[in-house]
Structure 1
């Protein structure tokens, strides 16, 4: 099968960019794959890209030319915002090629893309025609003008039927489905399939599991405040890995409390080493996280996860089977979950560890993902 992947790279490479690269490498094991990528720019170049993204004729021309040259059986679109723009859907449809699109976030529902703003959940865009509240609250880059323009782009393409050109939408977790079902403009739910992400098997040997571990971005939606409050109270060993705007909270806590250690940013292999050595991974997110790569990476290393009962983690984790769930944003609830974990016997912890690895092998291996992707592609053709 010949597959054309279209993706717009972010200014700074993030998880979505890495996932696209992983998926392309996976698909090339059995299919002929080419990538057409666009690159978001900063400064005035980025502003021009953003302004013309409502209908970017240059991007449309590139897509049509690539399709005519490569003659793909199918086009798989990932991020279109903002260097390419939604015109890529029209360009592919004009050439009569089936379109698959992965929804890595909530962008086409709300300019926030996260349903989270100012440290709280934000659902107002789901039940209104034009997302004026999102504009007034400056949900995109804290700017009324930029929020308005992105809202207009989304609304315009909703009105002209752009989102109906897709043959199959993929979402990484069933936790996303209710929000697409809620929108007042009737998203084509019959085209949506849950196709989770995947990760490679553990590349490190099992280690003695000691401290708790947090790996991720230091930002409000990740629940950093409740994480620190819980461990300051629990006085349990916690290793923190990552970076982000709330880094000062991490460094302050690690300097005051000797059971909280900050390791900085680590490369992928070093993160895997820490996952292998952790007693449990902590995921305290307070937003509707679409997935959670670090969760399935933890499972791959046989490490259970203690996570907030919200978003994708609530679907990835079976309470008391491969981890524990606690109330999101509630430091007391997290502290109680830590205490509950510590009260488990060695046998119970080992069983939960085995269940975590079993969960990975049954659902999140590269082989499972390739089979599912191929099945979805064939159904579109």
Structure 2
């Protein structure tokens, strides 16, 4: 089988989890298929398409056909970023370039991912070749040109009206969580597509870290961007309100606009540590050293990668009941809490602190078992099943999730 994956960026150009997950998918599929990736480079049209092989995957870096390369987005203002995203609504130059490259590759199936810089219009180019299209939803960029669609409901509605027309060419749509899939289908996108939920695979070995389950003062961790929408301020407030016999150490690992302010506010409390952004191996080590980690996001996270990463080292996670997070959490009834509430976080810290050692051991074993549903082997099996159904013209009558139902 020859598969073409389309994504805005591809390694070594990585902005966030979407690029990581796309690379994992491409390299996993390369073990059983001829995989090509169409992506955008920072070079001009005069240089043409650059081809290279990366870990068994043929990568085609196409000149960007927009106001600027998406890899330079951090250096652009809001108006420029919005204007570039609006050009995604109709970009005939990009559509034609993609059509020509697909015609040359002759794939059996096309699997699109994030399309910022390409534009959803490339679905019409692909459809003209009579090749089935699968699309994976990894963010909300099809619903709004700026920020989160929740913050821009009118703009999101207008934007979705255009992308929904293009989405009629898609044969099957995948959500990395039941929430993100429902958000898009409720907005009218992918009306003719079969639907399925396939969570991201999260790389990393699965092995329990040694823990002193009988210890009472807790070591708490947070790993991610330190921004208002991540709920870090509420976590700091909750932990700071508790005595040293309940909370011994709080590691806030990452960078962001709130880091300096939060670190300054905690300077009189030696329990708080702000190590900044660290390498993945170091973050994994610190995750394993924590007794419990928190993911207190207040915005609709498409997925909860850091939750699975924490489970892989045997550390349980309390997280907010928003977005795609519930699909990733073990025992949602116990380990979820409402967003934006320091009081709710404080209650969960006290709840975990009161657990006997036997319960903590049981929870660790359950977390290790739970994260096995997010391996590359599981990812491969689910995608091959989806591709077989799509190529055979089959449909999924309902959304099938890996770890829950659409809510």
TM-score in terms of structure 2 length: 0.78
Question: How do residues 207-356 of structure 1 correspond to structure 2 at under 5 angstroms?
Answer: 207-208=210-211, 211-235=219-243, 236=247, 237-319=249-331, 324-356=335-367
Distance 1:112 1:55, change over 3 A: closer
Distance 1:201 1:36, change over 3 A: same
State how far apart, in whole Å, the 2-side matches of 1:86 and 1:194 are: 20
Residue of structure 1 equivalent to 2:120: 86
Gaps of 5+ in 2: 42-69, 213-217, 392-407
1:27-63 Cα deviation digits (max 9, x unpaired)? 1111110111014245599788545433222222222
Aligned residues of 1:5 and 1:33 also touching (Cα < 8 A) = yes
Aligned residues of 1:219 and 1:245 also touching (Cα < 8 A) = yes
Distance 1:55 1:115, change over 3 A: closer
RMSD: 2.6
Residue of structure 2 equivalent to 1:57: 92
**SS of residue paired to 2:335:** strand
Aligned residues of 2:142 and 2:159 also touching (Cα < 8 A) = no
Aligned residues of 1:181 and 1:189 also touching (Cα < 8 A) = no
1:66-112 Cα deviation digits (max 9, x unpaired)? 2222111111111111x211221111111111111111122223344
Residue of structure 1 equivalent to 2:161: 155
State how far apart, in whole Å, the 1-side matches of 2:314 and 2:3 are: 34
State how far apart, in whole Å, the 2-side matches of 1:233 and 1:314 are: 27
State how far apart, in whole Å, the 2-side matches of 1:279 and 1:264 are: 20
Count matched residues: 347
Residue of structure 1 equivalent to 2:174: 170
1:369 and 2:359 are equivalent in the alignment: no
Indicate which of 190, 198, 202 corresponds to 2:201: 198
Gaps of 5+ in 1: 126-130, 135-150
TM-score in terms of structure 1 length: 0.83
Residue of structure 2 equivalent to 1:13: 15
Aligned residues of 2:253 and 2:275 also touching (Cα < 8 A) = yes
Indicate which of 34, 37, 61 corresponds to 1:35: 37
Residue of structure 2 equivalent to 1:138: none
Q: Please identify which structure carries the higher helix content.
A: 1
Deviation at 1:260, TM superposition (A): 1.2
Aligned residues of 2:160 and 2:189 also touching (Cα < 8 A) = no
Aligned residues of 1:180 and 1:189 also touching (Cα < 8 A) = no
